[in-house]
Amino acid sequence: MNTPIAVATTEVPAAAGPYSAAIACRGFAFLSGQGPYDSAGVLAGEDIATQTRQTLRNLEAVARASGASLKDAVRLGVYLTDMDDFDGMNDVFAEFFDHPFPARTTVQTGLPKPEMLVEIDAIVALPAPT
């Protein structure tokens, strides 16, 4: 699959701008950043563990719509509003990922909404066509 294909799902909030939930191309799906909101747009909670868990569930839904799973993740980007939340975010990551862990970068930055503590994007490997 050399032509980029847009991936969409109603399991996550609609895009907040002109971008796709994911693009599948050349054996990978490039998942746009997801935040801590359920499909109805309701904030999952106010603590880093709850927000990280919802964010990863959203990424899992987009990966599934792409034909993969978060278990197929090869790289993640994590964006925190406060690096003091690093350990809490890491604890939740351990619930979702096993060895070998995907490559990851974590940075502190501002996010689109003040109540957001975390946003995560991912690249997942797609299964070989049958």
Mean pLDDT computed over 83-106: 97
Structural domains of the chain, with CATH:
5-125 (3.30.1330.40)
At 34 the pLDDT is 97
At 1 the pLDDT is 55
Tell me if residue 2 falls in helix, strand or coil: coil
User: What rounded mean pLDDT belongs to the chain?
Assistant: 95
At 71 the pLDDT is 95
Angle, helices 86-96/48-66, rounded to nearest 10 degrees: 40
- The Cβ-side half-sphere exposure at 25, using a 13 Å CA radius, reads 10
Rounded to two decimals, the pTM is 0.95
Per residue in 21-58, pLDDT tens?
A: 999 999 999 999 999 999 999 999 999 999 999 999 99
What are the distances in angstroms from CA 54 to CA 2, 44, 101? 31, 6, 19
Mean pLDDT computed over 8-27: 93
